[in-house]
Structure formats: C-alpha cells, structure tokens
C-alpha cells in the first residue's frame, strides 16, 4: 500500500515546475531593473575603490576629503554593491526572482527615502556644517528622486508590473 502513494518529496520553491505567465511577464519592471543595474555596476567600483576621486566630484572643498570621509564612502560603495545584487537577481524570470521584486523595490525605496531626506536636510538645514554644497545636494535629489518616485508608483499603483508565474502543466 505504501508503494502506491509514491515517493514523498519535501516541498520547496522548486517542487512544482512553473512557467512565466504569458499574460503578465513583468517586462516593464525587468527592463527598469536592468537599467538600474547598468547604472550601478560601473559606479560601484569607482565609489568603492577610488573614494577620493568620487568625493572630489561632490565635496564643496577638497580639504574636507579626509581618511574618515574616504572610509565612509567605501561603506557607501559596499552598500551600493549589496543593493545591486537583488536588482540583478530580480531582472530574471524565475519563481524566486519574480517573488523578490516587490521586496527589492521596497528596500530600494527605503534607502532612497533616507538619501532624499538627508539631501533635503542639507539644503534646508545647516549648510555650512554639512560639508556638502547645496548644488550637490540638489543634484542628489534630482538623481534619486525619480527612482524613488518610480519605485513607489510601481509598488502602490502598478503591482501587476512585477509579473507572475503559474504552475506548469505536467506531462505524465
């Protein structure tokens, strides 16, 4: 009788074959993730390996480029690399990648909200104490603001753009 039940398989993410739902492939978000990855991949090594060069682009005074600032910039580069990995993973059309897209967008939105709040604080708050020129802070707002708005728009109004999968038909 036990042999008629078949072999028990522990359920996992790969237990049942899936296929991308042709009605909702997630192409829009996949393209957006690909573009983000293409922008982050060349920038991350610059920030991580050449922090003084990167800081010279954003510092209002080059005398403020201290070893501490360089180390903090390296941490920023490490974070950039870490955030790029789920972006790249989400660009693929597999079960796990499709499921990870909303979480990736939520995480990116949270980080971007922090950057935007900090940049706006520099613009509206104690400018001289920050070491950042207000025009650089505005540049950060202009660069990160559209990405933040995109992530929030997709999360809150177009979640169907993330794509979906369906159980594949089994051939017996």
Please tell me the predicted confidence (pLDDT) of residue 100. Answer: 94
Please tell me the predicted confidence (pLDDT) of residue 136. Answer: 78
Residue-wise pLDDT for 19-65, tens only, equals 888 888 999 999 999 999 999 999 999 999 999 999 888 777 788 78
Instruction: Lowest mean pLDDT of 59-73, 96-110, 127-141, name the range.
Output: 127-141
Please tell me the predicted confidence (pLDDT) of residue 65. Answer: 85
Query: pLDDT grade, residue 15 (50/70/90)?
Result: low
Range 39-46 contact pairs with CB under 8 angstroms and sequence separation of 24 or more: 40/80, 40/83, 40/84, 40/87, 41/84, 43/80, 44/77, 44/80, 44/81, 44/84, 45/77, 46/77
- Pairwise CA distance, residues 140 & 17, whole Å: 44
**125: enclosing H helix or E strand:** none
Instruction: Name the H helices within 91-170.
Output: 95-124, 127-130, 134-157
Indicate the pTM of the whole model.
0.81
């Amino acid at each position: 009788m036990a042999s008629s039940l078949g072999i028990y398989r522990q359920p996992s993410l790969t237990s049942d074959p899936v296929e991308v739902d042709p009605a909702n492939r997630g192409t829009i978000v996949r393209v957006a993730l690909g573009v983000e990855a293409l922008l982050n991949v060349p920038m991350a090594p610059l920030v991580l390996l050449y922090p003084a060069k990167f800081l010279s682009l954003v510092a209002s005074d080059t005398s403020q480029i201290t070893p501490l600032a360089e180390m903090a910039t390296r941490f920023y580069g490490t974070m950039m690399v870490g955030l790029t990995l789920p972006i790249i993973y989400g660009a693929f059309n597999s079960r796990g990648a499709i499921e990870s897209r909303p979480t990736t967008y939520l995480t990116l939105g949270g980080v971007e909200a922090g950057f935007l709040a900090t940049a706006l604080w520099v613009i509206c708050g104690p400018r001289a104490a920050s070491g950042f020129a207000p025009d650089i802070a505005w540049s950060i707002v202009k660069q990160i603001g559209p990405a933040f708005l995109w992530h929030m728009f997709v999360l809150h109004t177009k979640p169907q753009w993330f794509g979906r999968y369906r159980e594949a038909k089994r051939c017996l």
